[in-house]
Amino acid sequence: MTAPLPALDEILASTRIVSLPLATRFRGVGRREAALFEGPEGWAEFSPFLEYDDAEASTWLASAIDFAFNPQPAAHRDTIPVNATVPAVTADRVPEILARYDGCRTAKVKVAEAGQTLDDDIARVRAVREAMGIEARIRVDANGGWNVDEAERALHALSEFDLEYAEQPCASVEELAEIRRRLRDWDIPIAADESVRKAADPLRVARAGAADILIVKAQPLGGTRRALDIVQAAGLPAVVSSALDTSIGLAQGAALAAALPVLEFDCGLGTAALLAADVAEPRLVPRGGAISVARVEPVPELLDAHAASDERAAWWRERISRCYSTLVRPSIADALL
């Protein structure tokens, strides 16, 4: 544990709850709620998705506390190259989405969306390739939405677009290992996201030989230090990504990407471009295909303008209190901070 936990009252004293509109629906929602609070090192974000239980969300709180109250590991770079993120939109909307990502040379395209077909995925990825040209890198993210046979069929069909990698094509570690074996001759690397950030043992996917690349996110993994430890122990290249954070949360992702000794891939930290509003000005959006590594301060007027309702603010403050109670158990606090 790097430092004692601050008092709950100290966290809640500066906590602001915001509700930000999205430019396009993502993960089935049109708004993003987040709790922001300030510590001695600056502002941090606590924004686990609403469906996550307190046990899972407490890891996100540990991360936010660490970022707000503790100095972060030394940085090896001051800018982070980032990818564009293309939600599961219709192909005709692809140019509009990509236009939000200034100078990005890589795109991550969501596929395997519930209610859509493989033809929809193919049309979307084709539209990205046509819009970005042959030099661009395209990766797809299925969020575990396919079984092994579906993944094999889909990735063979999408291989004509020269995929950089496929992120979490299947849900389980065993399925990832099998699809990786089946695709060995197709030169489509497998990246693991949910099998790292939602796993009781985030190193199992590496030990099982089920992935070529790890997707790591600061909030779900308990902070920068724990994420760095996981990457080092796994011995695999890492891509730092976000969870549709505000610019405050993205600054922590940038700190993690900056602290990695080696950064081989563009990172998924450009997602403020999917927000129709943010709490900072300027926002931490891609400029020339990259974001800066720096602490971000919210603008008081924007915190006020996008404040959540009293009911939602009370819900988030109660959630912070419950998750904090989980963290004060010594075994959990020691593991995450």
Residue whose entry in the numeric block shows the structure tokens 């293309």: 86
Q: Can you give the pLDDT at residue 243?
A: 85
Give catalytic status of residue 110 as yes or no: yes
Quick: pLDDT tens for 28-43: 789 999 999 999 999 9
What are the helix (H) ranges across 133-172? 148-158
Instruction: Quick: pLDDT tens for 98-108.
Output: 999 999 999 99
pTM of the model: 0.95
Q: Is 212 annotated as a binding residue?
A: no
Question: Does residue 141 have a known ligand-binding role?
Answer: yes
Q: Say yes or no to pLDDT of 331 above 90.
A: no
Half-sphere exposure of 17 (CA within 13 A, CB side): 16
168: left (phi over 0), alpha (psi -120 to 50) or beta: left
Write out pLDDT tens, residues 14-32.
Answer: 999 999 999 988 777 899 9
pLDDT for the residue numbered 1: 41
Q: How many helices (H) and strands (E) does the chain have?
A: 13, 12
| Lowest-confidence region among 152-156, 218-222, 325-329 | 325-329
Q: Where are the alpha helices (DSSP H) in the chain?
A: 8-14, 54-69, 94-98, 118-132, 148-158, 173-182, 194-197, 204-207, 224-234, 247-259, 300-305, 310-327, 330-336
Give the pLDDT of residue 2: 53
- Residue 193 labelled as part of a binding site: yes
Residue of 16, 100, 110, 180 marked active site: 110
pLDDT, mean of residues 133-157 = 98
59-73, 277-291, 318-332: the lowest-pLDDT one: 318-332
For the chain, give the mean pLDDT: 95
Checking if the pLDDT of 51 tops 70, the result is: yes
| Distance in angstroms between the alpha carbons of the first and the last residue of the chain | 5
Residues sharing a CB contact under 8 Å with residue 70, sequence separation 6 or more, in sequence order: 2, 3, 41, 337
d(CA 192, CA 214): 5
Residue 9 has a pLDDT of 98
Whether the predicted pLDDT of 146 surpasses 50: yes
At residue 83, the pLDDT reads: 98
Q: How much is the pLDDT for 13?
A: 98
How high is the pLDDT of residue 180? Answer: 98
Residues 228 and 165: their CA atoms lie apart, in Å, by 22
- The dihedral sign for the CA sequence 306, 311, 314, 316: negative
- Which residue of the set 217, 226, 306, 319 is catalytic? 217
How far apart are alpha carbons 92 and 113 in whole angstroms? 17
List the domains of the chain with CATH numbers. 8-72+300-336 (3.30.390.10), 79-292 (3.20.20.120)
Tens-digit pLDDT profile for residues 240-291: 999 899 999 999 999 999 999 999 999 999 999 999 999 999 999 999 999 9
